[in-house]
Amino acid sequence: MARVAGHTPSWLSAPSPGFNLFQRATDSKPAAAYRNGNDKDASHGPSRTIAHRGTELFVLVGNDIRWSDLVMLKDAPKNTQDQNYRVLKTPVASQIKQLVVSPHGDYLAILTTHTVHIAVLPDSSHLSVQDTSPLRIKTFQLGPTAHVVEQAPVVSAIWHPMGFMGSCLVTVTQDACVRLWELNRDSRASFDEPELALDLKKLANATSSDQDFAASKYGTSKGFSPDSVEMEVAAACFGARATSDEHGWSPMTLWIAMTEGDVYALCPLLPSKWEPTPTTIPSLSTAVVAKAEAISQADPTPEERRIVDQQQKWLADIDAQEPLVVSHADTLNEFEVYNRPANPPAVPKLQGPFYLNPEPDFDQITDIFVIAPRLDDDALMQEEDQDDFLGHDDLSVGIVCLATAAGKVHVCLDLDGVEAQWLPSRRAAFRRRFDEEETFSELLLVETLTTSETKNSWPTFTPTTTSRYGFFLSSNEGIYNISLESWIAPLEDELINPTDSGAAFRLDVLFDVEKSTVDQILKRNHGSVTSVAPACLSIVDSDLGHFILTASSSQPQAVVLDLPVDRSLYNSFAPDETPLALPAPSVRQPYQPSEAFFATSALPGFLDSALQRNTNVRRADLKKQVVFSPVNLDILTDAHRLLSTETSRLGAAAADLFRRCERMRAELSEQIRHVDELSRRADAVTGDDDDGQGTDQPRVVGKERIDERMENARNRSKELAKRVEAMRRRMAGLGGKELSAKEEAWAAEVSSLSTSLGETEAPAQESIATDDDLTSRLQAVGELQRALVARAKEAAEQQKAIAPTPQDDESEPQDLSASVSRIPVDFRKQKIAQVMQMLDRETALVDAVMDRLGKLKGLGSSISSL
């Protein structure tokens, strides 16, 4: 997101010619009241009272349109009261609400609540401030019978991005009527009747293409319909800007948002002559051919097959045309102009309503903004220069943003995409009625951004050319800079490489971690905002930078943002060096004088009205000594009430100025203290704080002191590096060589033996003894030793107790004692010696194993410490 580099510059602050551009003249009359006298409409709907043509400004002051140039105002002498603007006179009587300049700067659409006027703008060379007299420009009323007070209010007027010579205007009224106008200044009829007029309420309930979808004529009685409430239009916009990096269907798609929250789309909505971009027709042909091949290999429904057939017929009509090549006066490029295909018909199908999933807490919708999906250049081109059209960091699906009166912005994804669709013929519609049911489309709600908001506000979007996924939101609270770029690239990676397993979890984590950024770059003064705040302008110019301009109570307010810089530019000059990431400057909005300081007193007008109401009182009597009478008392009471209100406003404005001055003085003292502290720290670094008294060494200050400290730091760093290297070598010597594979296997075996013998620190666990288990073998040997020793002792005792006789040797043994006594003594001693020798060997083996285990434990501790 771009950083705020500054706020309202001095050449737009009082006193300056730029400030006077927005100030109402002292002798100007108040804005004309609405013809219908409805005060509710005065604060209802969007307010776009500032328009631009490059750096040229068209500003609405009261009900007058003023022209000036920002570069000229910037270069104008300061503290001069010369008039640096011209007043453009128009025959518009009602209060103007919106100013919209055509793409080529030829026309200016002037909107009131119910009427639309088209002014033909002269070239900038003819608008010279040397002649400050008002200039009356040629103006046509658009639709004298369509856009009048007796008809529905006008909510949006959008110049078609593909209109021939930028002269195609689409108007949308509150009663869901869309009218497409092809303007020609040489033909008065082009301003009287639209080329195409559609009633969306009829189109929503239509079943075939041969029905009547035209908007109601002037004077036609209208009956009640539930759609009159549910299809009350809040705003409309086109889905793209008609550039070469956008999908082909997007620039010809009109999105309509209803106040209740429903969203509809019309595609394709084209004038009779239209100008495609160089990639529009190739991208559409590629998409339709790919879709037809996919359907041919599957089992499509009759509705899907009918849509593809209609798209193929529509593209075949375009391919059969020989385009007209024209060149625009403001550019050197040439454009191809095509005629709108006659088959299918010009009236598209109304797609929608698009339901938001999950459904949010809806408030009144105020504006809609759509970001087109990127062009699929991989499918369009197979050549190496395909990267010249678009980078792959953009999103391949569309984004729909909805603003609400509560200050919330719903960000939705159009995963299915909007393609051209037309209504079927009567016969096809009859078959479809029994074949399948109507399906509904959805928009995936991924995020809801919340901003602070006040009452009687109408938040509006303003696109910017510096970022595809960035825009501004203007409201009574201020201007918010919104950027969606943080989650665009990760989401596109997920869409390019889809995997079914864990996709929902990854998307939840993505939108939980990567949040859109919302930054309030300008804050309005609540005391001066009495109606709907106007939308801001985004101007990118080499002299102005990224300039954001708006107005509040006849006072200009601006924000200067940093322009995005491609870091590859630095690589072309210094590949090894990158620019320093400087901290954001501490900027604050400058003081804007209160409107009370510039407002004229209402006392003279009050006295005139008082004299008109009381014929017995003359103006000369007001200059004489006050005579006590009921009439004079009423005049004095009303005058006191009026003056008290004005003086109260002046007092509040003066008090605010006093508080700001006190805060500025406190901040200045804090800055002086901070600078003094930095100065002391700098003196400590350079040595200026040391006078050198009491020492025999020479005083070193300035650059020499810094060089000395740097040299000492380098020496300490080298010394530490040497100590670390010596320590590393010492530890390497203690650790010895690395263990081989056999040594590691032997260590593992010793560890398992230690575990079996219960010598480890781990808790002992019961296990089944096997023949190979050393513990079981040791226990068996111990039991055998005890048994043999017991038997040997018993045999020795029996031998001592019984003496051998010849009769006994001849007789047969009667029991075990007799059999033992008959064993020779030498043989018995030999067996006992063998058993004792085996026991000694087993005992020595166990002792050796235990000793080796102890040594291995010590070696393992040394290795682990290394």
Q: For the residues 482-502, what does the mean pLDDT come to?
A: 80
Contact between 110 and 119 under an 8 Å Cβ cutoff? The reply is yes
Q: How far apart are CA 552 and CA 662, in angstroms?
A: 25
Look at the block and give the residue holding tokens 């798209």: 311
Interatomic CA distance for residues 259 and 255, integer angstroms: 13
For residue 107, the model assigns a pLDDT of: 95
Q: Tell which residue, 242, 239, 231, has the closest CA to residue 198.
A: 231
- The sign of the dihedral angle between the CA atoms of 724, 725, 731, 732 is positive
Rounded CA-CA distance 526/24 in Å is 20
How sure is the predictor about 65, in pLDDT bands with cuts at 50, 70 and 90?
very high
Segment 269-280 mean pLDDT:
93
The pairing of beta strand 355-357 with beta strand 442-450: parallel
Helix axes 774-801, 825-865, angle to 10 degrees: 150
Position 389 pLDDT exceeds 50:
no
Residue-averaged pLDDT of the chain: 80
> DSSP secondary-structure letter at 126?
G
As to burial, measured by CB atoms within 10 angstroms (0-12 exposed, 13-18 middle, 19+ buried), residue 709 is middle
C-alpha span between 465 and 470 (Å, rounded) = 9
* Token reading at 559: 């924000």
More confident residue, 621 or 117: 117
Please report which confidence band the pLDDT of residue 402 belongs to, taking 50, 70 and 90 as the band edges: very high
Least confident of 305-314, 405-414, 425-434: 425-434
In angstroms, the first-to-last Cα distance of the chain is 49
The CA radius of gyration of the chain, in Å to the nearest whole number, is 46
Query: In this structure, what token pair is assigned to residue 443?
Result: 């928009």
pLDDT for 325-377, tens place per residue?
988 766 667 889 999 998 888 999 999 899 888 888 878 999 999 999 988 76
> For the chain, what is the largest distance between any 2 Cα atoms, rounded to a whole number of angstroms?
178
Neighbours of 650 (CB within 10 A): 14
Which residues, 6+ apart, have CB-to-CB distance to 829 below 8 Å? none
pLDDT at 634: 82
Q: How confident is the model at residue 560 (pLDDT cuts 50, 70, 90)?
A: very high
- The mean pLDDT value for 141-155 works out to 91
What is the pTM (predicted TM-score) of this model?
0.72
Q: Please, which pLDDT band fits residue 766 given cuts at 50, 70 and 90?
A: very low
CA atoms within 13 Å, Cβ hemisphere of 180: 26
Please say whether the beta carbons of 12 and 18 come within 8 A.
yes
- What amino acid occupies position 78? K
Q: Mean pLDDT, to the nearest integer, of 467-486?
A: 92
Burial 814-842 (b: 16+ CB within 10 A, else e): eeeeeebbeeeeeeeeeebeeeeeebeeb
User: 76: pLDDT confidence band, cut at 50, 70 and 90?
Assistant: confident
Closest CA to 389 of 175, 245, 192, 526: 245
Residues 9 and 76: beta-carbon distance below 8 Å: no
Q: Report the pLDDT value the prediction gives residue 125, as an integer from 0 to 100.
A: 83
The residue type at 690:
D
Angle separating helix axes 630-686 and 603-613, nearest 10 degrees:
170
Q: Over 80: is that where the pLDDT of 304 sits? A: yes
Q: What HEC string does 652-700 produce?
A: HHHHHHHHHHHHHHHHHHHHHHHHHHHHHHHHHHHCCCCCCCCCCCCCC
pLDDT at position 260 over 70: yes
pLDDT on residue 727 = 87
Q: Is the pLDDT of residue 432 over 50?
A: yes
- Can you tell me whether residue 81 is helix, strand or coil? coil
CA distance 793 to 820: 12
Q: Is 481 left (phi over 0), alpha (psi -120 to 50) or beta?
A: beta
Q: If you average pLDDT over residues 315-327, what whole number do you get?
A: 91
Residue 66 has pLDDT above 90, yes or no: yes
CB-CB neighbours of 350 under 10 Å: 25
Residue carrying the six token digits 């105002």: 73
Contacts of 504 (CB under 8 A, 6+ apart): none
Cα(537)–Cα(463) distance, rounded to whole angstroms? 9
Q: What pLDDT is recorded for position 273?
A: 94
Copy the structure tokens of residue 140.
């046509």
Q: How far apart are CA 797 and CA 810, in angstroms?
A: 23
Two tokens at 585?
């400057």
Distance of CA 453 to the CA centre of its chain: 19
Q: Per this entry, what is the length of the chain? A: 866
CA distance linking residue 336 with residue 317, whole number of Å: 15
* Closest to 7 in 3D by CA, of 381, 521, 421, 383: 521
DSSP at 374: B
Do the bridges between strand 86-89 and strand 135-136 make them parallel or antiparallel, or are there none, so unpaired?
parallel
Lowest-confidence segment of 97-106, 179-188, 282-291, 793-802 by average pLDDT: 793-802
Query: What whole-number distance in Å separates Cα of residue 373 and Cα of residue 367?
Result: 20
Q: Is the pLDDT of residue 259 over 70?
A: yes
Each residue's pLDDT tens digit, 671-682: 899 999 988 888
Give me 326's structure tokens.
Answer: 């024209």
Q: Is 668 exposed, middle or buried (0-12, 13-18, 19+ CB in 10 A)?
A: exposed
- What is the full DSSP assignment across 439-461? ---EEEEEEEEE----TT---EE
Q: Are 470 and 485 in contact (CB under 8 A)?
A: yes
Q: For residue 863, give both structure tokens.
A: 């290795």
DSSP 723-764: HHHHHHHHHHHHH-SPP-HHHHHHHHHHHHHHHHTT-SSSPP
> What is the residue type of 353?
P
Let me know: does 209 contact 242? Beta carbons within 8 Å.
Answer: no
pLDDT in the model for residue 207: 84
**C-alpha to C-alpha distance for 555 and 7, rounded to whole angstroms:** 13
Number of Cβ atoms within 10 Å of the Cβ of 528? 16
pLDDT exceeds 60 at position 436: no
- Confidence grade of residue 570 (pLDDT, cut at 50, 70, 90): very low
Cβ atoms within 10 Å, residue 557: 26
Rounded Cα distance between 185 and 169, Å, is 13
- Which residues lie across from 335 on neighbouring strands? 326
Q: What is the pLDDT of residue 33?
A: 41
Q: Give the CA distances from residue 712 to residues 683, 685, 700, 706, 708, in Å, rounded to whole numbers and listed in that order.
A: 19, 14, 14, 10, 6
Give the pair of three-digit tokens for residue 389. Answer: 């059209």
| pLDDT of res. 102 | 94
E strand or H helix at 17: helix 17-21
How far apart, in Å, are the Cα atoms of 186 and each of 191, 326, 354?
10, 19, 41
What's the pLDDT at 197? 94
Report d(CA 721, CA 726) in Å as an integer: 9
- Lowest-confidence range among 204-218, 247-261, 504-518, 764-778? 764-778
Average pLDDT (26-46) is 52
pLDDT digits (tens, 9 = 90+) for 114-129: 999 999 999 888 887 7
Strand partners, 460: 474
Q: What percent of the chain has pLDDT over 90?
A: 33
